[in-house]
Amino acid sequence: MATSDRTRTTREHSTADRRLSRYDLLLLVIPAAFLLALAGSTVSSVPTSALVAGASIVGALAVADGLFRNPPRT
C-alpha cells in the first residue's frame, strides 16, 4: 500500500492590518446593547424590563440591517 507524505502548510493570519467589517461591528452591537442595559439598570431607577426591551429593539435593528438593508454579498 502506497502512502503519501503530505506536509501540512498553514497560513499565518495577521490581524494587525485587518479591520473589523460591518458585520463584525453589527455582531458587537447586540451584546453591547444588553450590557449597557444591565449597567443602566444598576445605576438608574428605570425598570430593568424597559431597558432590556430597548436593548432588544437595538439588537433587532442591527440584525435587520445586516440581513435586509445591507445583506452580505459573496
Tell me the pLDDT of the chain (74 aa) as tens digits.
666 656 655 555 555 668 999 999 999 999 999 999 999 999 999 999 999 999 999 999 999 999 999 888 87
pLDDT of residue 72: 86
| Cell 501540512 -> residue | 8
- How many residues are present in the chain? 74
pLDDT of residue 8: 59
Q: CA–CA separation, 63 vs 22, rounded Å?
A: 12
| Cell 433587532 -> residue | 60
| Cell 444588553 -> residue | 34
For residue 38, give the C-alpha cell.
Answer: 444591565
| Cell 435593528 -> residue | 61
pLDDT of residue 68: 94
Q: Look at the pTM and tell me if it is higher than 0.85.
A: no
